């Protein structure tokens, strides 16, 4: 298997799906001639032409609205927003139309579209370029919210998202885009949307995360083993909505302790929903309060303070140790 970055793995998913299915089209700002702001769509216009790889004006609402029309017409649009910090401009189209058309038409119309957007901090970007707005979309009935954490699961999840009959918001952690390489099979591979994965087994505490923060979480789990003799179990959500609570609930029933990690702001974030599910389904198994390590309830700072905002390994270690010593 070839070792790929996440950028290359997502490009592979788009290429293979476009080769298999003529109804798959890619559109967005600079996705064609320039190959995308992060070069995720590099080379697609040369293989599939400007009728299937379409450069659009800088207008997120228009990109989403056009994609909805394409999807209802019978195409499978994969649209790209250059940064998640600007995708709120498409919120009206997605919330009022994409998420509702199947319900509104009593099943006569579906919207098989994917909205891709790089999200999160870690690359020292400007304002509106580092936001983590997954809670907006996860809170909207009718939308699915997917966030991969590595090249291999990004490729497999994007294939599933493109084939999904309903709208999927697909956030890509840009801090991971070129951070490391991973073996990605050339043959087709999918991961079902709505399933989480157990990526490390343990017995003492459960660490739950997704996307870019999976990496400090795994580093913290290794350090807990090395320095404290603690076996941390790690769950990667992969899909924020619909949330697969069966795996992390079972894990916490075994360990009795949980730490949730995400870089989105703390209040009303995905961690709050996970805490609620754990209290509902595993309350009698808990041996310590559930801890959250998150971003803060502020606008994500510019690069000079970005490191302090992000949930790093030391913050995760501190929360896990406090939970274990309760």
The model's pLDDT over 230-259, given as tens digits with 9 standing for 90+, comes to 999 999 999 999 999 999 999 999 999 999
Asked if 199 contacts 167 with a C-beta cutoff of 8 angstroms, the reply is no
By CB atoms closer than 10 A (0-12, 13-18, 19+), residue 10 is buried
Active-site residue, from 129, 139, 215, 262: 129
> What is residue 305's predicted lDDT score, i.e. its pLDDT?
86
SS3 sequence of 24-41: EEEEECCCCCCCCCCCCC
Question: Coil, strand or helix: which one is 61?
Answer: helix
Reference 94, options 60, 120, 135, 119; nearest CA is 60
* Cross-strand pairs, 210: none
Q: How many CB atoms lie within 10 A of CB 123?
A: 16
What are the DSSP E strand ranges found in 31-109? 53-55, 76-80
pTM: 0.96
**262 among known catalytic residues:** no
Question: Coil, strand or helix: which one is 119?
Answer: strand
Q: Tell me: the pLDDT tens digits for 7-38? A: 999 999 999 999 999 999 999 999 999 999 99
Domains annotated for the chain, with CATH where assigned, are: 2-184 (3.40.50.970), 197-325 (3.40.50.920)
């Amino acid at each position: 298997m070839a070792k790929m970055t996440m950028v290359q793995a997502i490009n592979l998913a788009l290429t293979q799906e476009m080769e298999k299915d003529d109804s798959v089209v890619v559109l967005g700002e600079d996705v064609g001639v320039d190959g995308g702001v992060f070069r995720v769509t590099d080379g697609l216009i040369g293989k599939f032409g400007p009728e299937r790889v379409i450069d659009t004006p800088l207008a997120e609402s228009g990109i989403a609205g056009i994609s909805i029309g394409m999807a209802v017409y019978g195409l499978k649009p994969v649209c790209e927003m250059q940064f998640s910090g600007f995708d709120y401009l498409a919120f009206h189209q997605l919330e009022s139309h994409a998420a509702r058309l199947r319900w509104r038409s009593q099943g006569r119309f579906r919207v098989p579209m994917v909205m891709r957007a790089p999200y999160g901090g870690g690359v020292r970007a400007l304002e509106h370029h580092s936001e983590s707005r997954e809670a907006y979309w996860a809170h909207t009935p009718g939308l699915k919210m997917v966030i991969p954490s590595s090249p291999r699961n990004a490729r497999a999840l994007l294939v599933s998202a493109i084939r999904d009959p309903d709208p999927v918001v697909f956030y890509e952690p840009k801090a991971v885009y070129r951070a490391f390489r991973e073996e990605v099979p050339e043959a087709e591979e999918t991961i079902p949307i709505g399933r989480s994965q157990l990526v490390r087994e343990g017995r003492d505490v459960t660490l739950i995360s997704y996307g870019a923060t999976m990496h400090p979480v795994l580093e913290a789990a290794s350090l807990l083993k090395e320095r404290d003799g603690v076996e941390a179990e790690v769950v990667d959500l992969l899909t924020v909505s619909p949330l697969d609570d069966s795996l992390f609930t079972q894990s916490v029933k075994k360990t009795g302790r949980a730490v949730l990690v995400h870089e989105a702001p703390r209040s009303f974030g995905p961690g709050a929903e996970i805490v609620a599910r754990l209290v509902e389904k595993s309350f009698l198994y808990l041996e310590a309060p559930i801890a959250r390590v998150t971003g803060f309830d502020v606008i994500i700072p510019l690069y000079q303070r970005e490191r302090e905002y992000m949930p790093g390994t030391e913050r995760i270690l501190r929360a896990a140790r406090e939970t274990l010593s309760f």
